[in-house]
Amino acid sequence: MGGRIAVRDSRAIRELVRRGVAVTLCTGRMYSGTRAIAGELSVREPVACIDGSHIVDPQNHRELSSVPLAAEALSGLFETLSAVRPSTFVFAGDRLYHDAAGIRYLPYLTTWSEELVEVESVLDDQRFTGEHKPAALVAIGKQEQILSVQSAVLELFPHLLQAVSFPIHRPDFAGYWGMVVRAAAVDKGTALDWLASHYGITVDQIVAVGDWLNDVPMFRRAGRSFAMAQAPDVVKEAATDVLVADARSGGGIAEAAERAGLL
């Protein structure tokens, strides 16, 4: 709600934890962009970041699972991006790497990570080796640029990478599109699989709340799933329930917990 946690939701989370319900976060953000909110909510369970590509224990910041972009696809991916030239951002080592072409978009990208590193050229695959293997990549540009790159990625690396594109709904970026590239084998649904295994339960015992396209795989796995009122129709269709609460009013987590019989 305006970038803040609604009081009703904060209270609901604390009451769920008091009752012994494991509450965690499954987000498109990097861990560096998730750590503060996890701390504010006193989340002690593993958090799934970058849509399941990175799972971290917030109590000691230890990495529990990581699925980076396939090394054998990086050169071809970077060559494609260099030819089409959208602004590109690389998520690696819990940092967001960018070059001068991406500076204007940083206010949008900092919602995913506050650890920013400017380099001369972000499309240098030799930079991202060893401990700094990319977990994901974001590109921003005109619709034709983004769709061109997405088409090439899906054609060249169908079994190694996945690419999801979307229009950016911000007045200052009118007409611009974004694209997220991740390893083909991970999404928020596989994050739920990991969490279910971690807790020794089945995924149908999990209740999920979300509002965006990357939540669809999670909704398809969870036993009960709640889409926020402002979610796109395709997201609502994937959920078992649609909430009255929206991002502006807040209270979605509290409403979902009550309707699921947890509170």
The domain ranges of the chain are: 7-66+186-259, 71-183
Give pLDDT, residue 172: 86
The pLDDT of residue 2 is above 80: no
- Residue 95: which of 115, 122, 67 has the closest Cα? 115
- Span of 112-121, 153-162, 239-248 with lowest mean pLDDT: 112-121
Global pTM reads 0.83
Listing DSSP states for 203-261 in one string gives GGG-EEEE-SGGGHHHHHHSSEEEE-TTS-HHHHHHSSEE-S--TTT--HHHHHHHHTT
Local structure of 90: helix, strand or coil: strand
| 45-57: pLDDT as tens digits | 999 999 999 999 9
DSSP 19: T
Quick one: what percent of the chain has pLDDT higher than 70? 98
| 83-97: pLDDT as tens digits | 999 999 999 888 899
Q: Which amino acid is at 91?
A: F
Q: Do the beta carbons of residue 201 and residue 192 sit within 8 Å?
A: no
| 176-227: pLDDT as tens digits | 999 999 999 899 999 999 999 999 999 999 999 999 999 999 999 999 999 9
Give pLDDT, residue 1: 46
- Residue 96: which of 57, 126, 136 has the closest Cα? 136
Q: What is the CA radius of gyration of the chain?
A: 18
Chain mean position to CA 58: 17
Residue for token digits 């999801």?
164
| Confidence band for 15, pLDDT divided at 50, 70 and 90 | very high
The pLDDT of residue 160 is above 50: yes
Strands 47-49 and 134-142: unpaired
Q: In whole angstroms, what is the distance from residue 250 CA to residue 208 CA?
A: 16
Of residues 148 and 5, the one with the higher pLDDT is: 148
Residues 72-91: what's their mean pLDDT?
Answer: 94
Quick one: what percent of the chain has pLDDT higher than 90? 77
For 7-66+186-259, CATH number out of 3.40.50.1000, 3.40.640.10, 3.40.50.2300, 1.10.3720.10 equals 3.40.50.1000
Q: Which CATH class is domain 71-183?
A: alpha beta
Give pLDDT, residue 33: 86
Q: Give exposure, 53-84, as e/b (b: 16+ Cβ within 10 Å).
A: bbbbebeeeeeebebbbbeebbebbbebbeeb
